Structure 1
Amino acid sequence: QTLVQGTDYQITETSTGFKIEFLGALKTSAKDYYTLTYKTSFDTNEVPSNGTWTNTAKATWTDVNGDSHENDGSANFKPKVEFDNDGSKSGSYNATNKTITWTVVANYNQRTLTDATISDQIVGDQDYVSDSAKLYEATINSNGTYTLGAQVSSPD
């Protein structure tokens, strides 16, 4: 059964996260298995230097014999590398017409940019295909992928 906040449990914010306490009959006798799920968000300006957040949890309880117990757990989260790099570049090759289509995604973190430019040097034995560069607005989806929007017809 799904527990009801305020009736079966309460959530209290702490300086490092939150604490959940059982209420009522569950406070004195919680004998079932419970799963806690919750969401967090992150600020792309605050990605740790190692690129990974570690989220920790601690459960404490007293068993039927009055003995105290504690269980610690943790899980790591590493956002897509595009958030750290604030963009990406990929290419695909068409063997029939021997062309490479390059895709550059910039401003992945969706910050306000001033006097921004995108430049991409063509190296090796490649030649730019005239009028092939196109600029699109894009939306960064909640799962970190992107969806192309309208083509930008003018830089204004």
Structure 2
Amino acid sequence: MDSVYQMAWISSFDFFKFLDRTDQIVIVKTVTLQLMILTNSFFSYCNNSSTCIFPDGSYFVWLDTMFDVIRNCNEIHLDRGEYALLKILLLCNPNWDKLSRSAFQLLSSTQQNYTNLLMDYCMRNHGASEGPARMATLLQLKNTIIHKVFK
């Protein structure tokens, strides 16, 4: 059922609707696992669990990939706003090999807009001295998730 919700969430973005079908398929195939890792890790973190748990109470003990992300969420005290913006940044990543040039341009522009939003959010919530470091930490978490999927 998670994939159905993910597809509905992905399809809700205007920029996604402007992509041709081939690019949409590339994006969905590429980001589905990344989104699942972040979503389930954040849910586990919010429920004070160091194991990957799901809303129905089931859990996996063998998902080592998730443990690092859950631990990272806990260490940095990831909040809901940061989580939401990280999900969007994973979705609008233009760095996939099989994207068309027009998709690359659209996603680059969209990613820049959401990156700016995340930076504003960090500055507003952590101040001018801590905001940039917080932004770097969040981008590192995003890169960790991407790396775990392609390992």
TM-score of the superposition, structure 1-length normalised?
0.22
- Structure with greater strand percent: 1
- Structure with greater helix percent: 2
Which entry has the higher C-alpha Rg, 1 or 2? Answer: 1
Of structures 1 and 2, the one scoring higher in RCO (CA 8 A, sep 6+) is 2
